[in-house]
Amino acid sequence: MNVSLLNRLPNPLPRLARPSAIAGGAFALLLAGCGGGGNPLSNPPDVSNPPGKTGESLSFAYFQKCINPIFLAQLAIVQNGGSSTNTCAGSGCHDSNTGTGGALRIVAAAEAVDLTDAANTPDTIRTTDMYKNFYSAQGVTVPGSPQQSRLFQKPLLLNILHGGGQIFADENDPNAQLIAYWISHPMPAGQDEFSAASSSMFTPADPATGACNTQ
């Protein structure tokens, strides 16, 4: 081909380079939209879990006396048209070692903590198996809202599946009422799970001697 004619032809290189540039820009936008940035091959930054919706805690005293016993009780189960009995903390359910029941984990052998003993400081209690049960149970609740809490929804099959079947026939079940009351009465904002405010959840107002309120 005549060299002068070749020089008059459009240069194809810019046209070939444009799709690459567009793709690179789109990739950068994709990274930004997914929270990316910097080196896309590096490890992500440390994950920081946001605080809860309200930042409120549920009562440890009420859990220990009124809720944990529910996990250990033999409860009627309706599943696949049949009925049986089992405990929430049983093997294959929510046992901390052999359970297959999702996030809720229960140490069946957890011993009660003497809340009247001055030696049982909050830091001490937080190392106990009973506190592990409390922490796990609170983790499947939305403090102040039983209807949004898995701990309340699942055993009642309230628009959600439960691998363990239906445990409570309806919301009037005494155990369901205890769970609902616990979730509905978080400690005052700014106070922890050991707040003295939990005394009002018992009649008389004493976690050691009082009965568990449900209303």
pLDDT tens, residue by residue, 56-75: 999 999 999 999 999 999 99
In this prediction, residue 44 carries a pLDDT of 38
Per-domain boundaries in the chain: 12-45, 60-212
How confident is the model over 129-151, as a mean pLDDT?
97
Select the more confidently predicted residue: 202 or 40.
202
Residue 153: band (very low, low, confident or very high) from pLDDT cuts 50, 70, 90: very high
Sign, Cα dihedral of 159, 160, 162, 163 = positive
Flag whether pLDDT at 11 surpasses 80: no
Rounding to the nearest 10 degrees, give the CA dihedral for residues 78, 62, 177, 211. Answer: 110
Q: What whole-number distance in Å separates Cα of residue 11 and Cα of residue 120?
A: 82
Flag whether pLDDT at 43 surpasses 70: no
Flag whether pLDDT at 28 surpasses 50: no
Residue 54: band (very low, low, confident or very high) from pLDDT cuts 50, 70, 90: low
Flag whether pLDDT at 113 surpasses 70: yes
- 178 CB burial (10 A radius; 0-12, 13-18, 19+): buried
Q: What whole-number distance in Å separates Cα of residue 101 and Cα of residue 127?
A: 23
Q: Which of 124, 142, 114 is nearest to 58 (CA)?
A: 142
Please report, rounded to a whole number, the percentage of residues in the chain having pLDDT higher than 70.
75
Tally Cβ neighbours within 10 Å of residue 64.
21
In this prediction, residue 79 carries a pLDDT of 85
Flag whether pLDDT at 24 surpasses 80: no
Flag whether pLDDT at 52 surpasses 70: no
In this prediction, residue 22 carries a pLDDT of 37
Side-chain-side CA neighbours of 37 within 13 Å: the count stands at 4
Give the chain's mean pLDDT: 81
pLDDT tens for each residue of 177-199? 999 999 999 999 999 999 999 99
The model's pTM is 0.74
Residue 98: band (very low, low, confident or very high) from pLDDT cuts 50, 70, 90: confident
